[in-house]
């Protein structure tokens, strides 16, 4: 017999109860919103053991749900031995504190915002991504500090030995100051990184390379599409927010034109405003793009609502004016009738399957078409000693015809306004 009994070391998943409130003015049916919340919980490693929904015109100020439902929640938590209660909407600090007191320790009460922040904290890998998540977490934490020190405040109110020192309030103020100082430091560091990103973005702009950004609902297949287009080898997994940090890769279109493609963080309904604010430097890649490919999961029944949610966030970051092409991904999961119905509602969208490659030639043609808007055909004789300009001709223009002459390269190209300006001294007849 072995001397020691082995014990499993794998973490035990937390048991979660989900709670939602159904309201008449909501854009999303409560069932679909709760299903998405369940996927978020599972992405964060929890096991959903029960779901509770209440229909209300407006949340109850004190506990978000009614007192009767709160009592039912307590019984459900105790009978199912739940570790955490997750609300589908953001709770105020007082609501969260009241609910934790009602449910009782050790069960935690959190909301969708805290859950998403936890997932982001797990998935962020770059320094900038981790700083952005930490900033959003601290901004969420700051107004909730009082509840975390309520036990010391109660001790002070009780009186007796030690109560004169006001430990709770003192510690609360110390913590608030520390959190505010840390938030200030994070913002400074993110501004520094944002400045570096702007320099890189300006360098890409100065190079004249056409920039494409992938935006869309989380798990729509953006990273798979980036890999299909550029062979980037980006991390891909069938879960929400599998990748957070932007990845930029280059590719060359059939006409010889070089473009860059950037994969960005996925969006979701009820995305916390603190996250949108914290990730603005990352989302700047979308703002600076020449073209946005709005990638949507064609197999999802909520695809149109998801597109609307993404457009709202693009508006929030001032990127709604950027030329946008809707890309219906995962059409391999649809039959011909479903695909035809989908295209009827969005005739300008491009249907593809990033997984199988179906429709990718049509998408590449559309990208080339968008990149060529504003181009004009010119003929220029570029001296051989202008090596950098010759390289730009091949990278940034669609070469129609070229002829090597003793004095230089005579090229007929389709060029954008900036390349036409650079080639102006060498255009045929320019010096006459």
Q: Which CATH architecture has domain 208-372?
A: 3-Layer(aba) Sandwich (3.40)
CA distance 212 to 261: 5
Q: Residue 179: helix, strand or coil by DSSP?
A: helix
CA distance 329 to 115: 27
**Other Cβ atoms closer than 10 A to 328:** 25
> 205: pLDDT confidence band, cut at 50, 70 and 90?
low
Q: In the prediction, which pLDDT does 412 show?
A: 92
Residue 258, strand partner residues: 252
Which residues does the annotation place in the binding site for Mg(2+)?
223, 243
CA distance 90 to 196: 34
The answer to whether residue 1 scores a pLDDT higher than 50 is: no
The answer to whether residue 248 scores a pLDDT higher than 80 is: yes
> 159: pLDDT confidence band, cut at 50, 70 and 90?
very low
DSSP code of 225?
H
Task: Identify the CATH number of the domain defined by range 15-123.
Answer: 3.40.50.11060
CA distance 240 to 226: 17
Q: In the prediction, which pLDDT does 422 show?
A: 87
Yes or no: say if 136 and 61 are a contact pair by the CB < 8 Å rule: no
Q: Mean pLDDT throughout 318-333?
A: 88
Residues 6+ apart with CB under 8 A from 382: 389, 390, 393, 408, 409, 411, 423, 426
The answer to whether residue 24 scores a pLDDT higher than 60 is: yes
Pairing of strands 84-87, 291-297: unpaired
Q: In the prediction, which pLDDT does 8 show?
A: 59
Pairing of strands 15-22, 84-87: parallel
User: Of all residues in the chain, what percent carry a pLDDT higher than 90?
Assistant: 31
Q: Where is pLDDT greater, at 197 or 339?
A: 339
This prediction has a pTM of 0.73
CA distance 154 to 163: 10
Q: How far is CA 130 from CA 4, 79, 217, 286, in A?
A: 40, 38, 21, 20
Which residues does the annotation place in the binding site?
216-223, 241-245, 263-266, 329-332, 353-355
Q: In the prediction, which pLDDT does 241 show?
A: 61
Q: Which of 54-63, 141-150, 180-189, 217-226 has the lowest mean pLDDT?
A: 141-150
What does pLDDT average to over the chain?
82
The answer to whether residue 380 scores a pLDDT higher than 60 is: yes
CA distance 280 to 284: 6
Q: Residue 300: helix, strand or coil by DSSP?
A: coil
- Dmax (CA) of the chain: 99
DSSP code of 273?
H
Yes or no: say if 43 and 241 are a contact pair by the CB < 8 Å rule: yes
Element at 18 (helix H, strand E): strand 15-22
Q: Residue 192: helix, strand or coil by DSSP?
A: helix
Burial 350-383 (b: 16+ CB within 10 A, else e): bbbbbbeeebbeebbebbbebbbeebeebbbbbe
Q: Residue 15: helix, strand or coil by DSSP?
A: strand
DSSP code of 255?
T
CA distance 203 to 205: 5
> 156: pLDDT confidence band, cut at 50, 70 and 90?
very low
């Amino acid at each position: 017999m072995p001397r020691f009994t082995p014990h499993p070391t794998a973490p035990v998943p937390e048991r979660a109860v989900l709670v939602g409130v159904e309201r008449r003015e909501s854009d999303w049916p409560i069932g679909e919103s709760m299903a998405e919340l369940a996927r978020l919980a599972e992405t964060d490693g929890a096991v959903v053991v029960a779901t509770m929904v209440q229909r209300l015109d407006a949340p109850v100020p004190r506990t978000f749900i009614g007192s009767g439902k709160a009592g039912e929640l307590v019984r459900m938590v105790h009978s199912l031995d739940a570790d955490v209660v997750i609300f589908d909407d953001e709770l105020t600090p007082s609501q969260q504190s009241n609910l934790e007191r009602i449910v009782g320790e050790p069960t935690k009460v959190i909301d969708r915002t805290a859950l998403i922040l936890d997932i982001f904290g797990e998935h962020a890998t770059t320094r900038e991504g981790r700083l952005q998540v930490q900033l959003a977490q601290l901004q969420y934490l700051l107004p909730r500090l009082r509840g975390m020190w309520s036990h010391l405040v109660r001790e002070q109110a009780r009186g007796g030995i030690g109560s004169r020192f006001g430990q709770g309030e003192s510690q609360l103020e110390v913590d608030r100051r520390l959190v505010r100082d840390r938030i200030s430091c994070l913002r400074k560091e993110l501004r520094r990184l944002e400045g570096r990103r702007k320099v890189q973005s300006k360098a890409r702009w100065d190079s004249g390379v056409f920039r494409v950004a992938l935006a869309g609902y989380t798990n729509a297949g953006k990273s798979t599409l980036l890999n299909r287009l550029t062979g980037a080898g980006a991390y891909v997994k069938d879960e929400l927010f599998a990748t957070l940090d932007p990845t930029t890769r280059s590719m060359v279109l059939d006409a010889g034109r070089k473009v860059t493609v950037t994969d960005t963080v996925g969006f979701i309904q009820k995305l916390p405003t603190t996250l949108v604010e914290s990730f603005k430097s990352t989302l700047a890649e979308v703002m600076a793009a020449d073209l946005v490919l709005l990638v949507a999961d064609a197999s999802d029944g909520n695809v149109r609502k998801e597109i609307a949610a993404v457009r709202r966030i693009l508006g929030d970051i001032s990127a709604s004016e950027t030329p946008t092409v809707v890309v219906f991904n995962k059409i391999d999961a649809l039959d011909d009738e479903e695909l035809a119905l989908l295209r009827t509602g969005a005739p300008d969208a491009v249907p593809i399957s990033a997984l199988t490659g179906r429709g990718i030639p049509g998408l590449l043609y559309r990208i080339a078409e968008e990149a060529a808007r504003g181009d004009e055909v010119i003929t220029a004789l570029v001296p051989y000693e202008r090596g950098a300009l010759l390289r730009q001709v091949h990278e940034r223009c669609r070469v129609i015809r070229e002829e090597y002459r003793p004095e230089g390269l005579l090229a007929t190209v389709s060029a954008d306004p900036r390349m036409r300006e650079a080639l102006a001294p060498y255009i045929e007849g320019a010096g006459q």
